[in-house]
Amino acid sequence: MAIEWSRNLSTGVEWQDRHHKELFKRVNGLLDAMSVGMGKDELDRVFRFLDSYIVVHFDAEEQAMSKYDFPHAMEHLREHTGFIEAVAALRHEFATGATAVLVVKVQQLVVDWLINHIGGEDKKLGVHIIKSETAAHARD
């Protein structure tokens, strides 16, 4: 069962939404693989993607938080750190062998992240970025 991107999850910040949509696409790839009994085979690709995603996406958000003096940066960074630690723990578990239980854990972690973090913290950051950019353009 695929998860759907919705305008409800959009932050309104083009680069941020593009990154999030790619994460949706990768999770849906895992869900599709799970539906045909191939989830274990897809896990390595998902972990490689998450490693890259964490570096690129989190860095971009953290730079934006700094640039626009985001007042909730510490909370947001704590969530990033928690996600990195959770992925690392699952990757460690993966090193001992892919299991169906691990596939479900990865799927649950990422889907929860998509819905809760993107739908909550990232939307707050997006609103702040848009307001800051609008104010900067008004001053120009």
Q: pTM of this prediction?
A: 0.89
Determine contact, residues 103/39, Cβ cutoff 8 Å: yes
- C-alpha 45/C-alpha 92 separation (Å) is 15
Enumerate the H helices of 5-99 as residue ranges. Answer: 14-35, 39-67, 73-95
Question: For the segment 1-37, what is each residue's pLDDT rounded down to a tens digit?
Answer: 677 888 888 999 999 999 999 988 888 898 888 889 8
Among 38-42, 87-91, 117-121, 127-131, the least confident range: 38-42
Tokens of 76: 């947001």
Question: For the segment 110-136, what is each residue's pLDDT rounded down to a tens digit?
Answer: 889 988 999 899 999 999 999 999 988
Tokens of 5: 């991107």
Contacts of 17 (CB under 8 A, 6+ apart): 10, 11
Homologous superfamily assigned to 13-34+41-139: Hemerythrin-like (1.20.120.50)
Domain ranges of the chain: 13-34+41-139
